Structure formats: C-alpha cells, structure tokens
Amino acid sequence: MEDKNKETIQYFLTLGATGFGGPVALAAMMQNELVEKRNWISREEFDQAFPLIKSMPGALAFQTAVYLGFRYGGISCAILAGICLVLPAALMMIALAHFGHYFNQSIWVESLLIGFQSGAMALIALACLQLAKPFKNEIRFWIFCCFAFVLAYFHLPEPLVIISFGLASILISKMKVQPTFKVIPLFELVLIGLMAGAFVFGTGLAALPWLEKKFVFDHQWLSQAEFLQAVAFGQMTPGPVLVTMTYLGYKLAGLTGAIFATIAIFIPGFIHMTTWFPKAVRSLSKKTWVRSFSIGAIAAVVGSLVMISVRLFPHLPDFGKVIFSMMILLLFVFQKIPSWAVILISGAVGMSVPILS
C-alpha cells in the first residue's frame, strides 16, 4: 500500500503542477497514463465511468482523479490523488491573490491582466461550444439553452435551474419529445462552495455563473472586474479550474478563507467518487435517462455561461474587447490550442498596448 500511495503522490503532484489545458485535457492525460500505460483500472471500466463522471456535479478532472485513486488503492489513494492534484494550483492562486493588489500599480501589469481576462472570456466561450457539441443535434438542448440564458439574466439559483432542466429533460424523453479583507461569515463562504461542488453540472467552468451570482450580485463581496481577474487566474494556472474558488476565498477571508473555500468546493465530488459512485457505474451506464438528464443539465450550463460572458464583456476596456475577439477567432481556427497558451497570448497582446500607444 505504501508503494501505491507513493506512486499516487508522485503522479498527481506532477500533473497538478504541469497539467494545463482544462478539465477534459487533464482527464485525457490521466486516461493515457493511468489506464492505458499503468492499468490502474481497465479501459472498459474507464469508458463506463467517465461519461457518468461528466454527468455528475463538481470538477471533472478532480473527480476523475479521486475515482482512479480510489479504484487503485482505496480511500488513502483517493485522498492523496485529490489533494495532490489541487494543491499546486491552490498555492499559486493564494500567491496571486496575496500579491494581486500590486499588479494594479503598473500600467504594464494592468494591461497584461486585461489581456489575461480577455483570454479567459474567450475560453469560456470555447467551453460553451465544447459542452454543447455532444448535443448539437438535440432540439430540446437548444430550447433549454435559450430558457437558461433568459433565467440567468434574472439571477435565478444556478443549481435549481440545472437540476430542474435535467429533470424536465427526463420527463420530455419519457414523453418521446425531443485586497482589503471583507468581514463575512465563514459558514456562508463554505456553504457557497458546497452548493457549487454538489449541484453544478458540466465541469468546473459550469460553476462560474453560480459563483458570480453569489460573490458579485447577491453579496457584492467583489466587483465584476475582480471576479473576472479570479477567472483569468483560474484558467492560467494548472490543475482544476475550480481553484478559482481558492482565489475568491483568499480575497475575502485570507488564508483561512482560501483553505475552507477550496475544501468546500471539492469535498462533494470526493464523497461521490469514494462512496456510492464506483458501485453504481455499471448499473447507471446502461440507463437511458442519464443522457436525457445530461441534455437538460448541460443546456442550462451553456445558457448560463453565455449570459456570464454577456455581462462581463462590457467591463473590458476597448482593447480588451479587441483581444477577446482575436482569441475567439484564434480558437475557431486552431481548436486544439491549450487554454494556458490562450491566456499567455492574450497577456502578451495586452502588454503591447502601452508600447503601441
């Protein structure tokens, strides 16, 4: 068992520190190394489990890591896999949050950050396309997207919309139809993280509308510009995108807030992957309603992500909007470009603005 623990620590610390590219890319790296090369689980079991993990709420890459660790070495490897995947990025986010107020003192750094933010928004747009792709021929998916877009404008609770749309899709399928720390209650911060981790479907990016609603609109803890900066750093660092919550927690309540927020948003997925989910994989993979639920749930996610892009776009300066448009075009032409490259290119273009002006 000690050898398995050691192997788990080594692999997931490395992946957490160097694994850029987003949740799907991280999951593909795990499949290639742990399933194809090391045989932690069979290819057949992975093919059965992975579509179901994608249908679960929470962070896709984190939950895939926990599931693989659990199947390889039990609860100890599951714990180590989850912690080691998240830890490098979480530490980076704490450092960025701590020194972030220095960034705004330089026009060069400010332009760099605006570039990062523009690139992050382009990646959100790309995520909408990636999430929608499996359901592009489903008419009900696009109908649900339109409704979700409208409901997101009125800030309806994200988990409620997602679950409701998922259940509605099942019913339709059955019918044969197609830098100053603000004083906040730590309990409330943890509750927001738990809700995002437990009920938001569609990879870590899907949690952004829920987090924006809570942090920016409901409690006004952060401005939209500050929230967009957190999203950009979450895209820029390796590991799961939901380490954005680490940054948000630190900005609100320091190191304690960062730790509690990180644990809260990842713990629901960890519980799922180490309790009932492994036993249910074979049974659920054969149920037709799983895909039906996914159609409604992912449609709600896509609609909400589009709305968050619409709301954040006006907060970019003019040259940031130009960078955003450039990155959309770049992603359209070169669809396999990694997310970290998009962020760095956006930042470089942003830094060039003071020189040209």
Q: What is the pLDDT of residue 253?
A: 86
pLDDT at 179: 46
Specify the pLDDT at position 320: 81
Place of tokens 């070495």: 73
Q: Residue 86 in contact with residue 239, Cβ under 8 Å?
A: yes
Tens place of pLDDT for every residue, the chain, 357 residues?
788 999 999 999 999 988 866 676 788 789 889 988 899 998 888 877 887 787 677 788 899 999 999 999 999 999 999 999 999 999 989 988 887 766 666 677 777 777 777 777 776 777 677 677 777 778 888 888 888 887 877 777 766 777 788 788 877 777 654 444 454 568 888 899 888 888 766 566 778 888 888 898 888 888 888 888 888 888 777 778 788 899 999 988 888 889 999 999 999 889 889 988 888 876 766 677 767 777 777 787 777 777 777 777 777 777 788 888 888 777 777 766 766 677 778 878 887 766 555
pLDDT at 285: 64
CA 102, CA 98: separation in Å to the nearest integer? 9
Residue 201 forms beta bridges with which residues?
A: 57
Q: Give the H or E element holding residue 255.
A: helix 244-274
Nearest to 19 by CA among 92, 74, 78: 92
Instruction: Break the chain into its structural domains and give their ranges.
Output: 2-356
Q: Which residue has the tokens 């332009």?
A: 111
> Across the chain, which distance is largest between two alpha carbons, in Å?
61
Is the entire prediction scored with pTM above 0.75?
no
Calpha distance 45→217 (Å, rounded): 42
User: How far is 65 from 83, CA to CA, in rounded Å?
Assistant: 10
Return the pLDDT at 177.
45
Two tokens, residue 177: 């139809």
User: Is the four-CA dihedral 60, 56, 328, 90 of positive or negative sign?
Assistant: negative
**Cα separation of 265 and 35, whole Å?**
27
SS3 64: helix
State the pLDDT at residue 340. 66
- Say how far apart CA 323 and CA 247 lie, in whole Å: 24
Quote the DSSP letter at residue 135.
G
